Every structure is written in structure tokens, then in C-alpha cells.
Amino acid sequence: MKFTEHRDSNINAVKHYEQGEVKINDQVLKNSCFLNQKELVKDWSCRHISLLETDLLDELLSLQPEVIILGTGETQVFPEPRLFAYCSQRGVGLEVMNNLAACRTYNVLTTEDREVVLGLIMDFEQ
């Protein structure tokens, strides 16, 4: 699915998503990744939702978001409840959805100038 252009070309925006591939600005990525408006980590070591632990969330939390949008692949899969609590204890919301919905939600929140981090798990085993 193609996305509409973002008003500010200086921020990271999702331009296109299809199964196994995401385009962030002019870069096409096929690995799990995470980003906010100014930073992009092209290779995040979380390859499956079952591997998500606090150390991997800490990488996203280091960008100091209000909310983390977590794309869990082609289907929405919820992580363990303790991981929601972990984020909540740090004052950060954790929202979980499939990758397509996560990409759209991230773009909308950035147009509202929200401090949001998008984490995408590119899981090829689903």
C-alpha cells in the first residue's frame, strides 16, 4: 500500500508498505527496524514477537517516545502483559497492531507532531 506524502520532508515517514518490505523516505528495508521522526535504526534484532523482551523495548524507549507503535508482522499478535506494564511504568504507551496499520498510525501521529516510535517486526515465518 502506498502512503500519502508527509508535509515535512525532513522527518522519517513511511512511504510504502507491503508484506516483507517497508519504504522509509527513500530507503527500502526488509529487516525488522524502528524509527521516530529523526532517527532510523535499519536492523532491529527483534525477528519475532515471541523474542520481544525488555532489552529490545529499551532500544525503542531510548528515543523517548510518548507512545510506541509496534507492528507485529502481517497479523496482530500481543506480547506478554508484563511488557505493556514495563512501558507503562516508564510513562510510555504501547500500542500493538499489524504492520500495515502500524505504518499508517505512525504517519498520522507524526503529522500531529507526537513523539512516537514505530517498531516493525518483519516476521517471515507467519
Mean pLDDT of the chain: 92
Alpha-carbon Rg for the chain in angstroms: 13
pLDDT given at position 123: 76
pLDDT given at position 108: 96
50 with 21: CB under 8 angstroms? no
pLDDT given at position 8: 62
The pLDDT tens digits for 42-54 are 999 999 999 999 9
DSSP 2: B
pLDDT given at position 10: 84
Query: Does pLDDT of 126 surpass 60?
Result: no
Per cent of the chain over pLDDT 70 is: 90
76 with 43: CB under 8 angstroms? no
- In the chain, domain spans: 14-120
Cα dist. 30→88, 89, 109 in Å? 29, 32, 23
Query: What is 14-120's CATH topology?
Result: Hypothetical Protein Mth938; Chain: A, (3.40.1230)
The pLDDT tens digits for 76-119 are 999 999 999 999 999 999 999 999 999 999 999 999 989 999 99
Tell me how far apart the alpha carbons of residues 124 and 39 are, in angstroms, rounded to a whole number. 25
Return the bridge partners of 68, or none: 94, 117
Cell readout for 52 is 520481544
